[in-house]
Amino acid sequence: MRVRRAATVVLSSGLLIAASPFAATSAQAAPAVPTVSAKSAFMLDYASGKPVYKKGADTRRQMASTTKIVTAATVLTSPNLNLNRKITIQKTYTDYVVKKGGSSAQLKVGDVLTVRQLLSALMLPSGCDAAYALADAFGTGSNTAARTKSFIGSMNRKAAALGLKNTKYDSFDGISQTGQNYTSANDMALMTRHAFTNPVFREVVKATKYVAVATASNGKKRTYTWYNTNKLLGSYSGAVGVKTGTGTAAGPCLVFAATRNGKTYIGVALNGTDRFTDAAKLLDYGFKSTTAKTMQLRSLPAGAQQD
């Protein structure tokens, strides 16, 4: 990536000397373009949408549970959204997680949770059971299969409305049914930028922990505690999201965001062996900092969901 430096003006012995852009001092030198492990990566300036970094940015790749960014965005842009709407957890949802070996929010059959609670169950522990519950509740049709298919259709229409040319969804959670669940790093960053315009989305994805009190099937209260699988949160100064994903075809993936001094960057790393360091390096490149060199990743509690 070429970086154009503006000429500087230096006051020396009473004379104004225009410095050549080709004679910049080491103190003025632009930060080196980082090398990342991700096969595809992209980062943009949230305010302007201007690209800051690209690597294989238009290559189509599976993105595993980062798909849930779109699940959340589709719910949050639904007409007449009521975040306090109550949804009962069905055996179909929990059986699906067991069958697919998916990440889980450990939802219990018969428990009643609100949409807002399920959004945290979706985005923090990456609950495929929560994704199923939301897709079933916000899709249309006479049965679960029809409603989830309808919801996935809404996800695809959202991508089309945003002009994403290298994106298609065949699932509500990233567990691809046909191998046709893919995006590009560029497209995913644009989708996440869209999602970030919603304050509830931003609130959900920046939390390292969320505690939800649900109504159990016996009428008593059940407390759920979910930890965010995005270890960048609490590790990289200014990190404010967004979502992990891991799959056999997708590899380790991370969609990330950070804000410092009023500047926000959103980035994507797809299929990388060191996704959190990749994210820190890219954010350092944007912020002109060196945080990645000393960053210590937040540890998840024993028994917490990994993704």
Sheet holding 221-227, edge to edge: 86-88, 112-114, 209-215, 221-227
Is 68 annotated in the active site? yes
- Which is catalytic among the residues 40, 103, 120, 126? 126
State the catalytic residue, choosing from 40, 55, 65, 158.
65
E strands present in the chain: 8-12, 15-19, 40-45, 51-55, 61-62, 86-88, 112-114, 182-183, 209-215, 221-227, 239-247, 251-260, 263-270
Q: Where are the alpha helices (DSSP H) in the chain?
A: 68-76, 91-100, 115-123, 128-138, 144-161, 185-195, 199-206, 275-287
Q: Name the region of 14 (left: φ>0; alpha: ψ -120 to 50; beta: rest).
A: left
Query: Using CA of residue 149, residue 153, residue 159, residue 164, what is the dihedral sign?
Result: positive
Active site annotation includes 126? yes
Of 44, 8, 12, the residue nearest 29 (C-alpha): 8
Report the distance separating Cα 103 and Cα 27, nearest Å. Answer: 47
- The structure tokens 């549970």 sit at 65
Helix axes 185-195 and 68-76, enclosed angle (nearest 10): 30
Which of 68, 158, 231, 281 is flagged as catalytic? 68
CA distance 18 to 8: 6
Residues acting as catalytic residues: 65, 68, 126
